[in-house]
Amino acid sequence: MRLSLIIGISSIITILPLASNLDAADILYPSSQSLSEFTKTNIIYLANNWYNYKATDGSYTIYFPQKPQEKNLSVNTPLGKLNTLFVFYEYPQEKRIFYVSHVKYPVEPSEYNVEKGLDGARDGAAQNTNSIIVSEKKINYKGFPGREIIFQSRERPDLKTLARIYIDPTGPILYSLQVITEDGNLDFPEAKAFLDSFVVF
């Protein structure tokens, strides 16, 4: 499953912002409701049975099946060094991993093109993980534009990723949530519960 973690990390490395004076080729890399009947029911379950992770800077919370691990990462980019903290949990028996991260970009919000940033995140993640984009839809969380994307590895078709990415344009801040599986199954209750439990303050 370490390969999956590497894939997740390599995805975030290339999710870079696209300001008005930057070109996507140079840097590479119907709205959905944040709550559903399923989620409202299961958030109560999660609150009693899963681990409520709070970001170190207090910016968000999310539920993991158990206490997750953390990994710091610094990446040199055309915009300077970006620092991010990866938070992830790997099922010990099942070939699944959940992770979340966020990064603030050192650019003026007025110079940042959110839709181009989301496009760059999508295309870069697919390129760097040698994956195809199976599906994509626009989503929105608290006014943050986002995408929900399913990726499939070209080399290992059963290795799939369900990603939700959001950009807070006032930061700009990128939030990335991913569920990665090695058995090709992304349609299981824990995946939806994990993604839907994400709350930004």
Q: What is the pLDDT of residues 122-133, one digit of tens each?
A: 988 898 889 999
pLDDT (average), residues 50-59: 94
Largest CA distance in the chain: 48
- Mean of pLDDT values over 113-140: 92
Average pLDDT, the chain: 80
pLDDT score at 45: 66
State how far Cα 128 lies from the chain centre: 15
The pLDDT of residue 120 is 87
Could you give the CA distance from residue 139 to residue 39 in angstroms, rounded to a whole number?
16
- At 42 the pLDDT is 67
pLDDT of 155 higher than 60: yes
| pLDDT tens-digit map of 87-111 | 999 987 878 999 999 999 899 999 9
User: Across-strand partners of 133?
Assistant: 151
How much is the pTM?
A: 0.81
